[in-house]
Amino acid sequence: MKRVLKAAVAAIGLVAFSGGAMAADWTPPGPIKLMIAFAAGGGADTQARLIAEDIETKLGWKFIPEQVTGKGGMNLAMALKDQPNDGTVIGMVVTETLGYNMLAANAGVTPEDFTAISTTAGFQMGIVSQSSKGWADFNDVIKAAKSGQDIRFGVMSPKLADIAYLLGKAQGVDFNIVSGKGGKAVMNGVMAGDMDLGFMAGIQAKGVAAGDLVNLASALSTPLKQTPDAPLMSDFGVEFNADGYFALIGPKGMPTEVRDAIAAAVIDAITGEGNKSAAMITKAFGEPATISGDALQSLVQADYDAAGRLMKAASE
């Protein structure tokens, strides 16, 4: 009996050791194709490329970045779906891709068809206007709208358009909701006066610090770091929020050790002192966000489920 126990312990030890060794020692069998759902040169694209660069420097893995843009990340999702799940193909999207966009696209896929690997950064999504408008917070916008002023509300995705519509509906006003391609377009629209206010996911930080722009409200479930006093959307009777992250995903059924090895490499890159990606993320998005593995999988699933409720509310 003792011998059996010893053997069992040894076996368990061996298994545990080899498993541990696999997670730490997993190296990609070849170069990793990194699909990027964002236009080349933007903040999101730069972030993805810098993460790849940092991992290449540290671990010697090889990445081939490739742009697969369009349809709010759905083009990437559809292209990624049938790729090998051995860690040689991954994609950088936003959690909204697997949430609202995937549900709206109705393309026969759900978050379960993908392996969530890790987030890299969160959005500091605010509702922003030029300070020259004279609005202190979103209450002033409602007042202006009620006094008969036409308000153009810039959004960069259908989900945000729904939220903007619900904000107006809850407050009894009608916004003219203008959709732009990406945060940069909304920011340019607001700066040029083509839009009165709009959602911005962190790009506004410099302008707010300089006093050109104002965070009128937080579009997150929590207050904005930069403007903690700005009201939340729940203050205006809207139960939905625009919480979101940049996230790396893989095809369905990626082995756990592969997923965890990639996640560990990514988190190491974005939190490592002196790393390019860490510096860039801190500068552009405030701080890295490191939700990974099962926690991220359930987060995107929850987003997907919430998207259904949001669509229903917005279509009523």
- Tokens 């759905």, residue located: 74
Nearer to another protein by C-beta: 49 or 259?
49
Nearer to another protein by C-beta: 6 or 146?
146
In angstroms, the Cα distances linking 226 to 214, 216, 223, 233 are: 10, 12, 9, 16
Q: CB of 81 within 8 A of CB of 251? A: yes
Stretch near another protein under the rule CB under 8 A, chosen from 6-14, 43-51, 141-149, 305-313? 43-51
Does 311 interact with another protein (rule: CB under 8 A)? no
Task: Please spell the DSSP secondary structure of 131-199, one letter per residue.
Answer: GGG---SHHHHHHHHHTT---EEEESSHHHHHHHHHHHHHHT---EEEE-SHHHHHHHHHHHTS-SEEE
| Residues in 47-86 at the binding interface with another protein, rule: CB under 8 A | 49, 64, 66, 68-72, 74-75, 78-79
Query: From the CB of residue 91, how many other CB atoms can be counted at a distance below 10 Å?
Result: 27
Nearer to another protein by C-beta: 6 or 62?
62
By CB atoms closer than 10 A (0-12, 13-18, 19+), residue 282 is middle
Nearer to another protein by C-beta: 74 or 127?
74
| Residues in 86-125 at the binding interface with another protein, rule: CB under 8 A | 101, 104-107
Nearer to another protein by C-beta: 112 or 150?
150
Strand-pair partners of 119: 247
Nearer to another protein by C-beta: 1 or 106?
106
Nearer to another protein by C-beta: 97 or 120?
97
In whole angstroms, how close is the CB of 4 to another protein at the nearest point?
Answer: 55
In whole angstroms, how close is the CB of 48 to another protein at the nearest point?
Answer: 10
Q: CB of 137 within 8 A of CB of 217? A: yes
In whole angstroms, how close is the CB of 256 to another protein at the nearest point?
Answer: 29
**Sheet strands (E) in 252-313:** none
- Secondary structure (H, E, C), 195-255: CCEEEECCCCHHHHHHCCEEEEEECCCCCCCCCCCCCEHHHHCCCCCCCCEEEEEEECCCC
Stretch near another protein under the rule CB under 8 A, chosen from 133-141, 171-179, 225-233, 293-301? 171-179
**Among residues 41, 134, 228, 237, which is the contact residue for another protein, using CB under 8 A?**
41
Binding flags for another protein, 175-214, as an x/- string (CB under 8 A): -xxxxxx--xx--xx-xxxxx----------xx--xxx--
In whole angstroms, how close is the CB of 17 to another protein at the nearest point?
Answer: 40
Strand-pair partners of 89: 33
**Among residues 152, 169, 225, 252, which is the contact residue for another protein, using CB under 8 A?**
152
Residues 6+ apart with CB under 8 A from 252: 81, 85, 112, 113, 114, 115
Query: Which residues make up the interface to another protein (CB under 8 A)?
Result: 39-42, 45-46, 49, 64, 66, 68-72, 74-75, 78-79, 101, 104-107, 150, 152, 158, 174, 176-181, 184-185, 188-189, 191-195, 206-207, 210-212
